[in-house]
Amino acid sequence: MSSCQKKLQIMRANIPRLWLFTDARNNAVLERAIGDLPKGSGVVFRHYHLDDMARHARFDQVRGFANNGGHLIILSGDADRAKAWGADGIYGPAARLARADNMLKLGAVHDADELKRAEAAGADAVFLSPIFPTRSHVGGDHLGIAGFTELARLAVCPVIALGGMTAARWDRMPANIAHGWAAIDGLSDKSNVLQQPNDSPASDRQ
């Protein structure tokens, strides 16, 4: 087994439970927000507002912050770009995952059909969203806790809750359903108390 394969095997066995998503609106506080994450968390780099050259440069900076904190760095993009930029994996729809080899595959899922396709494409975990109303999709539909629970129970791979999530909302999620949670604002705003999902016993969440 090569060193790359060993690294991938370790990452698959230790999918982070807490994930920060990057965006234009948390760009100015990323270094601090990443520094606040518990060691072994994950960062999904989006930054769609930048052109390719600027996006690559910012990714390199964010990758440095993530590496310093012992976090995974995932690119929302195609597999070739993720490999060229030195990402630990990719995030996106099933079609994108199917073309990714020797890296972590994290699926973007919103319904049962997308979940099925992501798992067929070899997703190591999926982000199921949106759970709550979000600033990213103002006025859009959301799953709610009941809808999330129903879909998450269909999954074989770990399911991570995304969309309007905060530490307080994580505490409201039913026990033993979600692997963890992810957020933009919920992990960037200092008014939110950061909490690693497995820091509180599952029995404490109703």
Of 197, 162, 158, which Cα lies nearest the Cα of 183? 162
| Terminal Cα distance for the chain, rounded | 43
Determine, yes or no, domain membership for 109: yes
User: What does the mean pLDDT of the chain come to?
Assistant: 90
pLDDT tens-digit profile of 112-127? Answer: 999 999 999 999 999 9
- Letter for the amino acid at 122? G
pLDDT in tens, 26-81: 999 999 999 999 999 999 999 999 999 999 999 999 999 999 999 999 999 999 99
Under DSSP, is residue 102 helix (H, G, I), strand (E, B) or coil? coil
With beta carbons less than 8 A apart as the criterion, state whether 82 and 106 touch.
no
Task: Provide the number of structural domains found in the chain.
Answer: 1
Q: Is residue 203 part of a domain?
A: no
- The answer to pTM > 0.85 is yes
Residue 203 has pLDDT above 60, yes or no: no
Question: Quick check: is 206 in a domain?
Answer: no
> What number is the average pLDDT over the span 168-197?
84
CATH number reported for the structural domain that contains residue 180 in this entry: 3.20.20.70
Residue 204 pLDDT greater than 60, yes or no: no
Are 71 and 43 contacting, i.e. CB atoms less than 8 angstroms apart? yes
Domain span holding position 107: 3-190
DSSP 25: G
